[in-house]
Amino acid sequence: MTMPATRGKPLQLFDSMTRMLREFVPVRAGKAGIYSCGPTVYNYAHLGNLRAYLFTDTLRRVLLFKGYAVTQVMNITDVGHLTSDADAGEDKMEKAAAQQHRSVWDIARHYTDAFLADMAALNILPPDHQPKATDHIQGMIDFNRKLEAAGHTYLLPDGLYFDTSTVPDYGRLGRLDIEGQKAGARVADTHGKRNPTDFCLWRKSPADSRRLMEWDSPWGTGAPGWHLECSEMSLRFLGAPFDIHTGGIDHRQVHHCNEVAQNMGFLGNGDAGVRYWLHNEFLVLGDDKMSKSKGGFLRLQTVLDQGIHPLVYRYFCLQASYRKPLEFGWEGLKGAGAGLKRIHLRVAELAARAGADTATRLRDAVANPLTADVAALSTPLADGARRYLADLDAALSDDLNTPRALAALNTLLADDALAATDALRLAALFELVLGIRLLAMTADDLNLRAKDAALTDDRISALIEERNLARKNRDFARADAIRDELDAGGVLIKDGPQGTTWEWKPA
C-alpha cells in the first residue's frame, strides 16, 4: 500500500518484553520487518494455530495501511521440534512419520501444502519469505560455532547446550522464576545440565540408532534444536535488529526466552535483536486451550464440513482482541456468519447504488493489499465520510483493536446520510485491513453447500421465491410447507428488512 508512514495516530503495540503499550518506531524509517513463528508440519493446523496467523496477518495489513514497506518472514519447522517445547520427548516430525508409516519428507510436504491451503482459504497474505528449517542446517551450524567461540555453550553426551548463565537477565520475556527452578533442580535429574534453564542447540543421534533426519556437525551427527531455527532464520532474512517478532502466548515462556538468549550470545552486544515481541492468546474450548496433543482438535476443514465459510472464522477471530482468550463455540461461529452476511448484503446494496463501474474499480483497487494505494482511495471523501476513516485509524492504532474497527464498519454501513460512493470507498479501505472480501464476494458466496445436501443453490432460490409469493398471496400453509422442506434439507432461512436470506445449517 502507498501512503505516508506518519499518517494518522501513532501505532501503539503491546510489547511482551516490557508488558506495556509502546509506540511503534521502526528500526529503519518507513520499513517494518516481522518474523512470525510458523507451523511445525507434523499434523494439520488446528483453529487455535490459525488464530495466530490471522493475528499476524492483521498486524501486517495494519502496517501496510499505515504506509510501511513490510517484509514478513514465516518459517516452516520440518525438523527439531520435540513433543515438549523444552528438551524432552520425541521429534514431532519423526513421531508422525512412524505413526503414519510414511517418510518424514512426505509428512512435511503433505502438511505444508495443507497449511498453505488453509492460509489461502482464510485470505491470509503469503509471507515474503517462508524458509524451511531443513534448508538452513549449515546456517544453524555456523550460528552454533559462533556461540561456542564466544563461550556460551558446553557439550554433553546427548548434544551441545546453551549456558543461560552467560547472558544477562535470562527469562525476562517470560517473567521466569529462575531461582525457583534452581531450587527444584536440586532434587530433579538435570542430566548434567549446568542450569535447569539451559537448552539444547544440537541434539546428537543415539549411538545405537539413526534419526530419520540427521546431519554431520562438529558436535556429532544429529539435528538442530527447535529454538535455534528461528534465531538463525529471523536474523538471516531481517538482519539485526529487526522490528517485530510474533507468536502464540505459549511461545513466550520457553521458545522465545531461548531465542532471546541465543540472539544475545550471537550478536555479542547485549541486544536480543528484536524491538517488539507480540503474542496472541489461545483459542479455548471450555476451560482448556485447543491442542493437537489431546487429539480430536478442530481444524479449518471441520468448519467447512459444517457448511461454514472459512472467512466466517476470520470474522469470528476479528471480533475479539488478539490479546484476549477467545472461546470457540458453534453458536458463536454461526452468529459471526450471520453478522458477516449482513455486512456483505449492505455492501452489495451500496455497490448497486454506486454503479457497476465504481464497484469494479474499487474492487480492483483493493484486490492486492500489498500494492493498494490507500492515499488515492481516501481521496476524495466528503467531510462526513472522513470521520469513519479516522475511526478506523484510531481503532487500528490502539493495539490492532479489530472489535472497535468492526463496530466502526457497521456504523458507517448503517449511515444512510453517506453517499453510496463514499460509503463503498470506505468499505474498500476497511477491507484492506480486515480481509473479509467485502467487495470481492457476495452474501451468497458465504453459503457453503453441505456435503450431503440434496438441494442445489438454484433450487433453494426458486423455493424461496415461491415462498415469498405464497406469503404475498397470504397462502401461509404453502409458505410454511416450503420452509419445512428447506429445513429438512439443511437450509436455514431468515426474513429481514433486506429480504430473505439463507445459509446451510451446521451438520
Please state, rounded to an integer, the average pLDDT across all residues of the chain.
Answer: 91
46 forms bridges with which residues in the sheet?
299
164-176: average pLDDT: 96
Q: What is the pLDDT of residues 121-142, one digit of tens each?
A: 999 999 999 999 999 999 999 9
151, HSE (Cβ side, Cα atoms, 13 Å): 4
Q: Look up cell 453478522; give the residue.
A: 339
Classify 204 as helix, strand or coil. strand
pLDDT given at position 84: 81
Tell me which H or E stretch contains 274.
strand 274-280
Q: Rounded to a whole number, what is the distance in angstroms from the first to the last CA of the chain?
A: 41
**Is 51 within 8 Å of 279 (Cβ atoms)?**
no
Whether the per-residue pLDDT at 237 is higher than 50: the answer is yes
* List of residues 6+ apart from 211 with CB closer than 8 A: 91, 94, 205, 222, 223
278/267 Cα distance (integer angstroms): 21
Domain boundaries, the chain: 12-294, 306-443, 449-504
- Label residue 2 by pLDDT band (50, 70, 90): very low
**Is 244 within 8 Å of 279 (Cβ atoms)?**
no
Q: What is the pLDDT of residues 17-35, one digit of tens each?
A: 999 999 999 999 999 999 9
State which amino acid sits at residue 61: R
pTM of the predicted protein model: 0.88
Q: What is the pLDDT of residues 336-361, one digit of tens each?
A: 999 999 999 999 999 999 999 999 99
Return the number of other C-beta atoms located less than 10 Å from residue 465's C-beta. Answer: 12
pLDDT given at position 503: 77
**Is 112 within 8 Å of 105 (Cβ atoms)?**
no
Tell me what percent of the residues of the chain surpass a pLDDT of 70.
92
- Label residue 187 by pLDDT band (50, 70, 90): very low
Regarding the domain delimited by 12-294, which CATH topology (the fold level of the hierarchy) does it fall under?
A: Rossmann fold (3.40.50)
